[in-house]
Amino acid sequence: MASSDGTVPRIEPCGKRIRTYLGGLAVADTTRALLVWERPHHPVHYFPTADVRTDLLTPTDRVSSRPLLGTARVFDLTANGRTAEHAVRQYPDAPTGALRDHLRFDWAAMDAWYEEDEQVFTHARSPYTRIDILASSRTVRVELDGTLLALSRSPRLLFETGLPARCYLAPTDLVLPLFEPGTRTTHCPYKGAADHLSVRLGDTLHPNIAWTYPTPFAESQKIAGLVAFYDDRVTLHLD
């Protein structure tokens, strides 16, 4: 559901079982979630009130509003002695009636999110995001401050809807003595958990300049163990 004049956000039924946890409790569990595009990049889940542990909610005096949704009632959520402040919102006067009896949970405030029985990280998955991972014979050269970091003639190119293409290189294409383990781990809802790599040039450490997915999700197995670089931190030439 979406208005042609932009007066309400895009809304679609999710179809999956969606659960979110706090303090070890499933505070919301539904097969009737709505996907709501509050912003264009990815959706958020809205739960029917009947499928939420509303006994764990405490109303607050906080006022919050969003374009296309209106003013929200804001709740604290407490489960097993843990409180997530201002973590739940309801838009009782939303322009579309489909949202008025639904609750929205702040993703980062929760301990865990699940689609069916698989944990999802970072944000809700969009049904319109596609990942293509293609073998290529194009030459990729990566440099930093004039020093060669990597050279490949057989990269894997990853194309993800709405994002720039990424070049994933085999570790054997890297000048390995320049690299050391990084200090950062990030998560992608479509690819999994990424470990980071740092580069040391002389006495200068360039932290977390590249990343790798040691054990990506099944749909992204073709980049397992390969390395990609942050384009804005290196000079990357793609033939």
Report the CATH number that the domain containing residue 187 is assigned in CATH: 2.170.150.40
108 shares a domain with 148: no
Distance of CA 196 to the CA centre of its chain: 17
102 shares a domain with 203: no
- Tell me what pLDDT residue 6 has: 57
68 shares a domain with 22: yes
Query: What distance in Å separates the CA atoms of residue 139 and residue 149, rounded to the nearest whole number?
Result: 14
175 shares a domain with 108: no
221 shares a domain with 184: yes
Dihedrals phi, psi of 111, to nearest 5 degrees: -75, -35
Query: What distance in Å separates the CA atoms of residue 119 and residue 69, rounded to the nearest whole number?
Result: 28
Q: What is the DSSP string of 81-123?
A: TEEEEEEEEE-TT-SSGGGTTEEEE-GGGSSEEEETTEEE-SS
Could you tell me if residue 222 is inside a domain? yes
Query: What distance in Å separates the CA atoms of residue 92 and residue 71, rounded to the nearest whole number?
Result: 8
Mean pLDDT (the chain) is 94
Could you tell me if residue 176 is inside a domain? yes
* Cα atoms in the Cβ-side hemisphere of radius 13 Å centred on 9: 24
- Tell me what pLDDT residue 65 has: 87
110 shares a domain with 14: yes
97 shares a domain with 32: yes
The residue range of the domain holding 157 is 131-238
Q: Are strands 235-238 and 140-144 parallel, antiparallel or unpaired?
A: antiparallel
7: pLDDT strictly greater than 80:
no
pLDDT for 58-102, tens place per residue?
A: 999 998 888 889 999 999 999 999 999 999 999 999 988 889 999
201 shares a domain with 135: yes
Could you tell me if residue 20 is inside a domain? yes
Largest distance between two CA atoms of the chain:
61
CB atoms under 10 Å from CB of 151, counted, come to 15
Could you tell me if residue 203 is inside a domain? yes
CA 197-198-200 angle, 5° bins: 145
pLDDT for 118-163, tens place per residue?
A: 999 999 999 999 999 999 999 999 999 999 999 999 999 999 998 8
Sequence length of the chain is 239
153 shares a domain with 116: no
What number is the average pLDDT over the span 153-177?
Answer: 96
Residue finishing a domain among 62, 91, 120 = 120
197: pLDDT strictly greater than 50:
yes
117-134: burial string, b at 16+ Cβ within 10 Å, e else: eeebbebbbbeeeebebe
60 shares a domain with 140: no
117: pLDDT strictly greater than 60:
yes
108 shares a domain with 14: yes
pLDDT for 11-50, tens place per residue?
A: 999 999 999 999 999 999 999 999 999 988 899 999 999 9
Task: Give the confidence band of 4 by pLDDT, cuts at 50, 70, 90.
Answer: very low
Q: Find all residues with CB under 8 Å of 239, minimum gap 6, and list them.
A: 138, 139, 140
Could you tell me if residue 3 is inside a domain? no
Could you tell me if residue 2 is inside a domain? no
Could you tell me if residue 83 is inside a domain? yes
- Tell me what pLDDT residue 110 has: 98
Residue finishing a domain among 120, 149, 170 = 120
Q: Are strands 70-79 and 57-66 parallel, antiparallel or unpaired?
A: antiparallel
Contact (Cβ atoms closer than 8 angstroms) between residue 133 and residue 157: yes
Number of separate domains in the chain: 2
Could you tell me if residue 174 is inside a domain? yes
Residue finishing a domain among 120, 140, 169 = 120
C-alpha distances (whole Å) from 64 to each of 17, 35, 100, 154 are 28, 20, 15, 50
What number is the average pLDDT over the span 207-213?
Answer: 98
19 shares a domain with 102: yes
